[in-house]
Chain A
Amino acid sequence: MNLVAATTSVPGAWYLAVAAVLFTIGAVGLLSRRNVLVMFMCVELMLNAVNLTFVTFARMLDDIGGQVLVFFTLVVAAAEVVVGLAIIVSIFRGRVEGATADSANILKG
């Protein structure tokens, strides 16, 4: 591919590979852990991997739009964390043991 390599001499494909590995680690963590807080952190990992992909494509295509999209992703991630942690707190309020996703059904009713 005849793409612009303006800044660093490392090809964009390497950055994309790192982002893919980060995304996979996040996905595996989300599927395999049961602690909701750790699951949430894995979601953040996946979002970060996508951000890295955006920035890499912004460099490869020489387009500032990719970086602007990362900015929006950050805002959405912040909002998501605020609401998600509020939900987690309301799951665990009054619970003594265990902080796992299995106890989400106590929110019923």
Chain B
Amino acid sequence: MVDWIVFVVGAVIAIAGALGVLAAKQPVHSAVLLVMTLFGVAVLFVSQEAHFLAAVQVIVYAGAIVVLFLFVIMLLGVDRSEDVRVETLKAQRQIAAVLGVLALAELVALSRFHFVLGTKSVAGAASEPGANVELIGKSVFTRYLYPFEITSVLLVIAVIGAVVLSRRIRTSEDVR
């Protein structure tokens, strides 16, 4: 019973926040509602025993990524709200809604039919004794060691890319 209450609360928070992101006129409101969705998903993570990921979700997503979003919104000016009535492409919203409904129908249909779930516990059981963090750590540093090392390269590339993209190109007048 408690399981269901936790699930429903988490799901409602997540979906309400997501709808808010979609509908909010101001980008700042979208960002704050995105935090709400992230917390809802974190609740769903906790209820499935993914404690480490729930913590990381709150710290990295809500703490770093959304703050970065808010920083850029403030940098570019908060008062630039989008006029949702203007349509640059004809019938863009209608087509988007139809495509969304189709995608949802396909996902629901997929979940109704029989699908093959593959082998159990390829990388190790999630329910074996030991804390969740311990199991993830063991897996990251043994089976997934090479992907883990490659992510560090990815992060370095991202940092260099951000610096290059946001660098102001100096003209000869700036030097003088």
Query: What is the interface of chain A, defined by CB distance below 8 A to chain B?
Result: 1, 3-4, 6-10, 13-18, 20-29, 31-35, 37-38, 40-42, 44-45, 48, 51-52, 55-68, 70-72, 74-83, 85-90, 92, 97-100, 102
Contacts and interface: CB of A to CB of B under 8 A. Distances in A.
A83 B147 contact: no
A92 B120 CA distance: 49
A63 B107 contact: no
Interface of B: 3-4, 6-7, 11, 14-15, 18-19, 21-22, 24, 27, 30-31, 34, 37-38, 41, 44-45, 47-50, 52-53, 56-57, 60-61, 64-65, 68-69, 72-73, 75-76, 80, 82, 88, 92-93, 95-97, 99-101, 103-104, 107-108, 111, 117-118, 120-127, 132, 135-136, 139-140, 143-144, 147-148, 151, 154-155, 157-159, 161-162, 165-166
A60 B117 contact: yes
Contacts of A61: 117-118, 120-121
B41 A31 contact: no
The main secondary structure of chain B at its interface with chain A is helix
Given A55-B53, A68-B136, A32 B96 contact: yes
B41 A71 contact: no
A70 B53 contact: yes
B139 A37 contact: no
Contacts of A88: 72, 76
B125 to A, nearest CB: 5
Contact of A24 (B24, B47, B80, B103): B103
Given A29-B21, A64-B136, A65-B122, A13 B111 contact: yes
Contacts of A15: 7, 44, 48
Given A62-B120, A85-B69, A33 B82 contact: yes
Given A38-B82, A48-B38, A55-B48, A17 B108 contact: yes
13 contacts: A8-B6, A14-B11, A17-B111, A18-B11, A37-B69, A41-B30, A41-B69, A51-B57, A61-B117, A66-B126, A75-B151, A81-B68, A83-B162
A27 to B, nearest CB: 6
Contacts of A28: 22, 96-97, 99-100
